Structure 1
Amino acid sequence: MGDFFGGSTRRVRDPVWGYIPVDRPARALMESGALERMKGLHQLGFAHLVFGNARHSRYDHALGVCHLTRLTLQRIVDSGAYLEERDIRCALAAALLLHAGSYPYADALEGLGLPPRRELSRRWIEDSDVARVLEKEWELEPHNVLRLVLPAGEEPVALTPTEHLLRDILAGSLDADSLDNLARDAAAVGVSFLPLKAEALLENLRVVGQENRAVLSVDEEGAGSLQALVFSRYLMEYNVYGHHALRAPTVMFRRAAQDALQGGAVAPEKLARLDDARAFALIRESAKEESPAGALTRLLSERRLYRRAIELDERHPGYGSLLRLREDANWRRRVEEAWARYLTRYRKGEAGPFDILVDIPPQNGLSVGLRFIRRLPVVPGERNLTTWQSLSGLSEEDMLRCSVPLHRIRIFTATEELARSVRRHAEELFTIAEEV
């Protein structure tokens, strides 16, 4: 298995992990249409408007995920776990293709009624040149790779125990996907305060048997690294992913894309196959200049971002009336337009139909499902294989409370004057949101 675990003489220079070994099958996949497209998909969307160096792509991320997957597989095989060569090949191919089904500016387009990501993944893996590469260079059936790429619960046939383990390595509680995300995103935005040490965490990974399953777990010596991972996730969510200056262009583009798609100016099928730059250009060029799509993409091109008017989390009494808008983009737009009409009609402010936008990001939590191996139980009756709650002393409710500051809803406006008007009349606007 030497070639799988770094035996290849070819290396690719990566700014995060150094020199990454790349064998011939990996190079063939890297030259496929799916991976070429990923070079044009920004990992952090519009973050480069705020953090100038945050231009890393999903292609860069795919190489990092593949590298960390290889290190993880090597670690668990060295510690005694048995994996067939086919399993290793399948996991490494899936690591490179994990985000092949991503939309351009995926965070902004979420919830706009586009074909599900699983369908895009299937097309790229089974109906493109990727399928030929997997069959010829990797000696794999494309549908077996797709089973590892699809999110949990969306695979057509239940996973085998080995596939469950490989899925956990790729995108589970402690996975190559999130580890590379944290490290790469932090490096790109210049964050220097993360305590995360990915290599130290991987060094302490083990596989143990539980209920007829091979379960990924962390040895006792990795306790500090596991705690650092959770804290790093919190820091990045609060300081980077949820930064208001990053959310502003995201919500602006979301509204532009929503109007372009629903107005028929842009076809969902065409948008799905483009990279970020081409998708942005398609929406801007297909929209009328005075339309929401035309005006908002022009502002984004000129880096004239909307202002933050209000920011609230679940402790605010108006939070619930806005949170329910998250799953219905049309409902959210009706509320935004109702607010604009109200402020304009009663001379409380001047607002056009897309001058007030609501941003309700995903409700990402901090829960940890990974198991922890304790050599000596610290309480009577505790088993050696225990939970994050036992290790940290934090219950699931504690973790939810820690997540409260991360789940911020924001209202953005086209001008600072309008932002002041929204703040002055916030209670009236929240009442309108409940009635629309």
Structure 2
Amino acid sequence: MPTLRDPLWNNIRVEGPYLRLLDAAPFQRLRYVRQLGLAHLVYPGATHSRFEHALGAFHLTRLTVRALEDAGELTAVPALDRRLVEAAALLHDIGHYPFSHALEEIGVPHHEEVAASLLCEGPVGAILREDFAPDAPERILALVRGTSDSPLQGLISGSIDLDKTDYLKRDAMMCGVAYGEIDVERLRHALCIVRAPDTGALAVGIREKGLSALESLLFAKYQMYRNVYWQHAVRSATAMYKRLVEDGLLTGRVHANALVGFTDEGLLDALTVGGASPLLTAIRERRLFKRACEAPAAELTGIDLEWIAEDRARIRIAEDALAKTHGLQPGELLIDYPRKARMLGLDLPLVTRDGTVRRLTDSGIAGAINLPILADQLYQSARWLRVFTVTRCELPREAVLTALAGA
């Protein structure tokens, strides 16, 4: 049985059909897609790939399935469902675009939607049908999208899926920061299979003894978003990259339906055809745009600015109008307001010490932190509206907010 050496989890064993999936060309592409996009321009160690992360998620899922089996939790879960959830963990990021999530912010289909053709067709689809089941690709796609009725769905997509556990610890380690500490063993061994109190369906839940470990996951995620994923220089590089690719799509240098086939460097090379743009040169030489104005989301209540996170055509108009107002050229001012729905959301069955099953959603439990309310407060704290400019300058915040509110 082949053993792969992993810097986070040490030895990871991969055999049989899982090894065939790993060796398939669509999965091998993930070796050349950085896990954290352009974060390596700020954290030099952040050059790890989606390949490594997917392997880690597979490893944790396999360990968790074994732990649930040993605890007698999976008697009602067919063996095929267990194998499919392990395959889904390995393949959950197969549809990722170059430089990770950034391109999803300019309106291209989400990577979980793109995964459909990669999972159901080509070499991956063939392996899944031959080695798992004729309907395996469709069932794995449902797991990846979070729409499966499998009792193990929560291990792949949910409040405490193992994808999060791997990437938080891996990203923190590779960035050299101390923010990703999670009590992984306690969390895994507190998981159970229960009937959800609202639907009666079997689902992954957590025992009350695991709440402290769940808190560690929540705080790790908040710290990583605040200090790494949404750190100002990382977001500057991301805003530059989004505008660069958007320009490439508008000019026809690249086409949206071809984006998922690129590696990181492959896409940048394609964007150099006909000559590198100033933005591309600035990214390659790490000449990042500077903060000219910023405001935390918590101070923006009452101002409708959510469109900045979703309406790219409107954003470009607003960016270029602001640039003109302040004596800059089009493309020399960028607006950034990241959004991740339910970034710190919690929604899962909780088994209390007296055996009662309830949903951990809008209200906490006596004697513990109100995690759902805290999650929303932390999200507002981590999220900032920022305006970046090609040269260092300071823009008046109130004037900028007034202009954006009327854009």
CA distance in 2, matches of 1:414, 1:275: 27
> 1:85 deviation in Å?
2.0
State whether structure 2 residue 162 is matched by structure 1 residue 176. Answer: yes
1:369 corresponding residue in structure 2: 347
Q: Does structure 2 conserve the Cα–Cα contact (< 8 Å) formed by 1:69 and 1:176?
A: yes
State yes or no: 1:137 paired with 2:114: no
Q: Deviations over 1:245-290 (max 9, x none)?
A: 111110000001111102222111222211111012112335x54x
C-alpha distance after superposition, 1:374-415 (max 9, x if no partner): 2248xxxxx454636116342744432232111111111111
- Partner residue in 1 for 2:285: 302
Structure 1 letter corresponding to 2:51: Y
Match of 1:405 in 2: 381
Equivalent of 1:25 in 17, 26, 48: 17
CA deviations 1:198-221 (Å, max 9, x no partner) are 122101211112343112222233
Gaps spanning 5+ residues in structure 1: where? Answer: 1-8, 153-158, 345-350, 378-382
1:66 matches 2:61: no
Rounded Cα–Cα distance in structure 1 between residues aligned with 2:204 and 2:140 = 20
Tell me how far apart the structure 1 counterparts of residues 391 and 170 of structure 2 sit (CA, whole Å): 34
Confirm whether residue 428 of structure 1 aligns to residue 399 of structure 2: yes
Superposition pairs for residues 9-408 of structure 1, below 5 Å? 9-80=1-72, 81-82=74-75, 83-141=77-135, 142-152=137-147, 159-160=148-149, 163=150, 165-210=151-196, 211-286=199-274, 288-289=275-276, 294-317=277-300, 320-344=303-327, 351-364=328-341, 365-376=343-354, 383=356, 385=358, 387=360, 389-390=364-365, 392-394=368-370, 396-408=372-384
Cα pair 2:46 2:171 within 8 Å, conserved = yes
CA contact (8 A) 1:171 1:178 kept: no
CA contact (8 A) 1:375 1:384 kept: no
Q: Could you give the per-residue CA deviations for residues 306-335 of structure 1, whole angstroms, max 9, x where no partner exists?
A: 111222123435983543222111111111
* Whole-Å separation in 1 of the counterparts to 2:298 and 2:142: 40
Q: What is the total number of aligned residue pairs between the two structures?
A: 398
- Does structure 2 retain, via aligned residues, the 8 Å contact 1:54–1:188? yes
Secondary structure in structure 1 of the residue aligned to 2:347: coil
Is the CA contact (8 Å cut-off) linking 1:204 and 1:219 kept in structure 2? Answer: yes
Unaligned runs of 5+ in 2: none
Structure label with greater radius of gyration: 1
Q: Secondary structure at the match of 1:39?
A: helix
Change (3 A) 1:168 1:360: same
The verdict on how the C-alpha distance between 1:185 and 1:208 changes in structure 2, with shifts beyond 3 A counting, is: same
SS at match of 1:320: coil
| Mapped contact 2:282–2:288 kept (Cα < 8 A) | yes
Report the Cα distance in structure 1 between the residues aligned to 2:190 and 2:373, rounded to whole angstroms. Answer: 27
Residues 354-392 of structure 1, C-alpha deviations (whole Å, 9 max, x = no match): 111011112353232133322248xxxxx4546361163
Supply the AA of the counterpart residue of 2:406: E
CA RMSD of aligned residues (A): 2.1
CA 51–334 in structure 1, closer or farther in 2 if over 3 Å, else same: same
Aligned to 1:5: none
- Counterparts of 1:332 and 1:113 in 2: how far apart (Å)? 12
Counterpart code for 2:3: R
The worse-fitting range, judged by mean Cα deviation, of 42-51 and 199-208 is 199-208
* 1:195, distance to aligned residue in structure 2 (A): 3.5
Structure 1 pair 204–396 and aligned structure 2 pair: CA distance change class (3 A): closer
Residue aligning to 1:155: none
SS of equivalent to 1:136: helix
Identity of aligned residues (%): 30
Structure 1 residues 42 and 306, CA gap change in structure 2 (3 angstroms): same
| Cα distance in 1 between the residues matched to 2:104 and 2:229 | 15
Letter in 2 for 1:201: L
Q: What SS does the corresponding residue of 1:325 show, helix, strand or coil?
A: helix
Q: Which moved more, 1:22-31 or 1:316-325?
A: 316-325
* Distance verdict in 2 for CA 1:226–1:352, change over 3 Å: same
Structure 2 vs 1, CA of residues 320 and 263 (structure 1 numbering), >3 Å: closer, same or farther?
Answer: farther
Task: Give the letter for the 2:12 counterpart.
Answer: I
**CA displacement 1:4-39 (0-9 Å, x = unmatched):** xxxxx3311111111111112111111101111111
Instruction: Output the CA distance in 1 between the equivalents of 2:378 and 2:31.
Output: 35
Mapped contact 1:125–1:146 kept (Cα < 8 A): yes
- Helix, strand or coil: the match of 1:336? helix
CA distance in 2, matches of 1:363, 1:320: 18
Instruction: Work out whether residues 308 and 413 of structure 1, in 8 Å CA contact, stay in contact via their aligned partners in 2.
Output: yes
C-alpha distance in structure 2 between counterparts of 1:186 and 1:214, whole Å: 33
**In the alignment, residue 87 of structure 1 is paired with which amino acid?**
D
